Amino acid sequence: MSGYSKASLERPEIFLFLKYEDMKKDPTSNVKRLAEFIGYPFTTQEEKEGVI
């Protein structure tokens, strides 16, 4: 696991390291982060409407 964590810090454009505990604690921020990582961020309108 530490290898993936290190890779995500060294090359954040290629590796996204999400921990289950963080997803449970703050799902909205982590889903937003995931959407941005895969190239499909939420629009401001979607955020205002609570789509996330």
pLDDT tens-digit series, residues 12-43: 888 998 999 999 999 999 999 999 999 999 99
- Please indicate, yes or no, whether the overall pTM of this predicted structure exceeds 0.85: no
Whole domain around residue 9: which residue ranges? 2-48
Is residue 2 predicted with pLDDT exceeding 80? no
**Residue 21: closest CA among 6, 38, 1:** 1
> What's the domain count of the chain?
1
Question: What is the C-alpha to C-alpha distance for residues 10 and 20, in angstroms, rounded to an integer?
Answer: 21
Q: Tokens 């401001």 — which residue?
A: 44
